[in-house]
């Protein structure tokens, strides 16, 4: 994948560019289907598949409050690259960009600069200053500027069969702790990322289960509770159990994400972890004492192992 972060980097139009445009938050199954359609169309016309997106989120750039992102910029770029798309153009969105008229956006940027021969977008796509651009305007300009406008069908919610897969729906599912359902929408486990920091030094010494304390990098946090997870470390992938919340037994009111990595004995302070949320085991609970909590953690580990093995992971670690 070629990553373009400024229009100035484009020296000449791409050959027969087939373009899709969007925020692609989550790069979920609906986005994946759209990208596949772009790739397929590009192959048919011996062209270049192109995805155009923006950083920061356009609403944020305009000072409008937005919900937490499902995927931060780095993960979004990784996922879009994994789709097989030829080029991702990620442009900085600001007030000047927002002031570009829909007609200028079509002709000066999409056609003249990028070389668009086809555009594939969803049924509700709008663009340009005051969101004045729409499918009808694209079709009108396509007749004179020589490009095709293709409207892609929504990808249906696998659970309801009626609602479409959307970032809004996935965001709510994750916040509700339904990480198993989130996988059906994303095509992968929901993943949080973060740096391992010094914690309260009680996991190993007090509970008998050492934990990695994570400073969350992502914006979207799953519902508080205990989860079966897989953990991608600098030493490879491992199974684990994660606790998200305030550890009410200790009553110190400090938010933490703590991960006990199974069969693991490495110093990983200051390294970054990727934690894949496989299944929610239970709510957080305040126990009468540390012994009761330790006994419950032991049960959580056994439950997590059973679930992870059932999901196809090896007994001590898995190969992704």
Active site residues: 258
Element (H, E) at 144: helix 135-145
Which strands make up the sheet holding 48-55, listed edge to edge? Answer: 2-4, 87-92, 48-55, 17-21, 116-121, 148-151
Neighbours of 215 (CB within 10 A): 11
Cα pseudo-dihedral 263, 265, 267, 273, rounded to 10: -10
- Cα–Cα dist 13/110, whole Å: 9
Q: Which residues pair with 164 in a beta bridge?
A: 156
CB 188 within 8 Å of CB 75:
no
The CB-side HSE value for 227 (13 A sphere, CA atoms) comes to 31
Q: Where are the alpha helices (DSSP H) in 208-285?
A: none
Listed residue (301, 241, 243, 234) closest to 266, CA to CA:
234
**CA 177 to CA 63: how far, in whole Å?**
29
Dmax over CA atoms of the chain, in Å, equals 75
Spatial contact of 21 and 53, defined as CB atoms under 8 Å apart: yes
């Amino acid at each position: 994948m070629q990553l373009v972060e400024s229009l100035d980097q484009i020296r000449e139009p791409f050959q027969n560019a087939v373009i899709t445009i969007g925020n692609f938050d989550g790069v979920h199954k609906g986005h994946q289907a759209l990208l596949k359609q772009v790739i397929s169309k590009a192959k048919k016309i011996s062209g270049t598949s192109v995805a155009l997106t923006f950083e920061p989120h356009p609403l944020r750039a305009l000072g409008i409050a937005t919900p937490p992102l499902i995927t931060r910029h780095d993960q979004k770029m990784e996922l879009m690259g994994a789709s097989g798309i030829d080029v991702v153009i990620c442009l900085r969105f600001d007030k000047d960009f927002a002031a570009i008229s829909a007609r200028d956006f079509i002709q000066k940027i999409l056609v003249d600069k990028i070389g668009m021969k086809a555009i594939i977008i969803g049924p509700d796509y709008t663009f340009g200053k005051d969101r004045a651009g729409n499918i009808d305007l694209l079709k009108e300009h396509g007749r004179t500027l020589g490009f095709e406008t293709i409207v892609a069908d929504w990808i249906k919610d696998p659970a309801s069969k009626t609602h479409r897969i959307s970032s809004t729906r996935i965001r709510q599912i994750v916040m509700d702790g339904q990480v198993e359902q989130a996988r059906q929408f994303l095509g992968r486990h929901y993943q949080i990322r973060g740096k391992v920091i010094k914690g309260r030094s009680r996991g190993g010494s007090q509970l008998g289960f050492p934990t990695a304390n994570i400073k969350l990098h992502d914006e979207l946090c799953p519902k508080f509770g205990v989860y079966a997870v897989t953990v991608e470390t600098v030493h490879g992938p491992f199974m684990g159990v994660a606790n998200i919340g305030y550890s009410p037994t200790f009553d110190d009111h400090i938010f933490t994400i703590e991960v006990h990595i199974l069969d693991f004995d490495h110093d990983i302070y200051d390294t970054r972890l990727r934690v894949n949320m496989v299944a929610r085991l239970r709510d957080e609970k305040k126990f009468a004492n540390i012994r009761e909590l330790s006994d419950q953690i032991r049960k959580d580990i056994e439950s997590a192992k059973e679930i992870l093995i059932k999901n196809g992971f090896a007994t001590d670690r898995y190969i992704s």
